[in-house]
């Protein structure tokens, strides 16, 4: 397997008929988990049974495919069924946030086998943060009863722009010491497997959509936490932009905030008005004890009217920006997540209020706006998906089988 940092992370297209004779392409038919007999595969693909048998034998030898019971006999010995074996290998999925790190071991189907959440400031730098990631990863592999040799790859989400081709952070505003850092090589010195790195909200979009909304080809995931960003999936493909900054909604200007200075140096940025820390500052100025988004949610949970009104207004501010995005991209689904978003019914109410009022009627005819169902696991599920889309791709499967003889 390769150690590429960047891959396409959409849903894998169906293999072309002319390539089905290759084991890597044939394997894609089995990724849906449905058990099939060799005869059924031959009938579906039009390949000779001898060709199917040799390719399936190679996949069984790799462990990626295994027995799945027997089919009903029409006379004689019942034919055996085979299916994708997601337990063949495991993935290390990592979510690095501004103040936390979540590390999990998943199987190739995205099922979480072991998980650890750490309090960790990303501002402490890549050596410290990635050192903890590697240490936690080794502990979790042991907890899951797996060996480092079982590791297929590592997916990492970072809270800042990432150059997709190299996996290097690009001028991340809240990550001192990370700009241009070679995350891939650093991690591979300890765990020599493919390492894939992306912006955290991108992988949250992948995780949420893959797990809960696979039928939506035009999908937005909005993270509202310390910062505000969007993961954009258009026509089934994740959109990163030219430099990895697509979806950076936090620094779109909101007219209401002309006199509010953002940490980026501009005035009126959405993040400076509607992020968790921004709402907390507004409440603190009103005499309430609030220093973070968690404090805002605590006050809301206690029924504090000032906090409820502030969070609803933050939703309206986010809605002001999203109304333009909806007209531009025409998504069918917008999911609100992040530490503030996933717990903020009042925030989402404010978003809906403005989006449905300000967007074009045709653009909102079938639009749904909801709260994340994956919650804190959205990024973990996305990081796992990022890796499996790579390591289970036709080319990588073919190369793996070739290397194994």
pLDDT tens per residue across span 81-104: 999 999 999 999 999 998 899 999
**Residues 151 and 120 occupy one common structural domain:** yes
Cβ within 8 Å of residue 340, ≥6 positions away: 224, 225, 275, 276, 279, 293, 296, 297, 311, 347
pLDDT of residue 19: 65
Average pLDDT over residues 375-384: 96
**Residues 220 and 363 occupy one common structural domain:** yes
Q: Which of 68, 87, 106 is the last residue of a domain?
A: 87
Residue 6 has pLDDT above 60, yes or no: no
Strands 80-84 vs 65-70: parallel, antiparallel or unpaired: antiparallel
pLDDT of residue 272: 95
- Residue 185 maps to which CATH number? 3.30.420.40
Rounded to two decimals, the pTM is 0.89
**Residues 120 and 223 occupy one common structural domain:** no
pLDDT of residue 69: 66
Judged on CB neighbours under 10 Å (0-12, 13-18, 19+), 179 is middle
Place of tokens 């005819």: 365
Q: Which of 55, 87, 119 is the last residue of a domain?
A: 87
Q: How far apart are CA 303 and CA 311, in angstroms?
A: 12
Residue 212 counted as domain residue: yes
Residue 300 counted as domain residue: yes
Q: Which of 31, 63, 87 is the last residue of a domain?
A: 87
**Residues 218 and 255 occupy one common structural domain:** yes
Residue 12 counted as domain residue: no
Residue 13 has pLDDT above 80, yes or no: no
> How many Cβ atoms sit within 10 Å of the Cβ of residue 301?
11
Identify the domain containing residue 286 by its residue range: 205-373
pLDDT of residue 72: 56
Average pLDDT over residues 166-179: 92
pLDDT per position as a tens digit, 131-143 = 999 999 999 999 9
- 135 by DSSP, 3-state: which? helix
Secondary structure of 326-343 in HEC code, one letter for each residue: HHHHCCCEEEEEHHHHCC
pLDDT of residue 78: 62
Helix (H) or strand (E) holding 152: strand 151-158
pLDDT per position as a tens digit, 275-309 = 999 999 999 999 999 999 999 999 999 999 999 99
Place of tokens 């997601």: 86
Average pLDDT over residues 24-46: 90
Residue 255 has pLDDT above 90, yes or no: no
pLDDT of residue 354: 96
Average pLDDT, the chain: 90
Check: CB of residue 225 under 8 Å from CB of residue 276.
yes
Residue 9 has pLDDT above 60, yes or no: no
* Total number of domains constituting the chain: 3
């Amino acid at each position: 397997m390769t150690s590429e940092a960047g891959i396409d992370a959409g849903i894998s297209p169906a293999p072309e008929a002319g390539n089905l004779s290759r084991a890597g392409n044939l394997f894609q038919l089995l990724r849906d988990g449905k058990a099939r007999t060799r005869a059924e595969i031959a009938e579906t693909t039009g390949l000779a049974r001898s060709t199917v048998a040799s390719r399936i034998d190679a996949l069984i030898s790799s462990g990626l495919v295994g027995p799945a019971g027997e089919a009903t006999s029409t006379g004689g010995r019942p034919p055996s069924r085979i299916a994708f074996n997601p337990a063949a290998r495991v993935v290390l999925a990592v979510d690095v946030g501004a103040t936390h790190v979540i590390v999990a071991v998943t199987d190739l189907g995205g099922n979480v086998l072991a998980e650890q959440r750490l309090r960790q400031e990303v501002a402490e730098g890549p050596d410290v943060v990635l050192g903890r990631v590697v240490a936690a990863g080794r502990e979790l592999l042991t907890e899951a009863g797996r060996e480092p040799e079982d590791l297929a790859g590592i997916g990492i989400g970072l809270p800042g722009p990432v150059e997709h081709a190299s996996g290097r952070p690009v001028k991340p505003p809240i990550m001192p010491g990370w700009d241009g850092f070679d995350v891939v090589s650093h991690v591979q010195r300890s765990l020599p497997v493919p390492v894939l790195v992306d912006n955290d909200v991108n992988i949250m979009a992948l995780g949420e959509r893959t797990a809960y909304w696979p039928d939506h080809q035009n999908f937005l995931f909005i993270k509202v936490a310390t910062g505000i960003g969007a993961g954009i999936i258009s026509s089934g493909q994740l959109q990163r932009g030219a430099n990895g900054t697509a979806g950076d909604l936090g620094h779109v200007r909101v007219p209401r905030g002309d006199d509010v200075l953002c940490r980026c140096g501009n005035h009126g940025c959405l993040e400076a008005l509607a992020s968790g820390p921004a709402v907390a500052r507004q409440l603190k100025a009103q005499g309430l004890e609030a220093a973070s988004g968690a404090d805002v949610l605590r006050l809301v949970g206690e029924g504090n009217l000032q906090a409820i009104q502030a969070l609803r207004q933050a939703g309206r501010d986010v809605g002001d920006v999203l109304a333009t995005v909806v007209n531009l991209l025409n998504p069918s689904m917008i999911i609100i997540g992040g530490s503030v978003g996933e717990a903020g019914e009042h925030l989402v109410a404010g978003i809906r209020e403005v989006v449905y009022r300000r967007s074009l009627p045709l653009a909102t005819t079938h639009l749904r706006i909801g709260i994340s169902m994956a919650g804190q696991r959205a990024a973990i599920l996305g990081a796992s998906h990022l890796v499996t889309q790579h390591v289970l791709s036709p080319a990588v499967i073919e190369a793996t089988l070739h290397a194994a003889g």
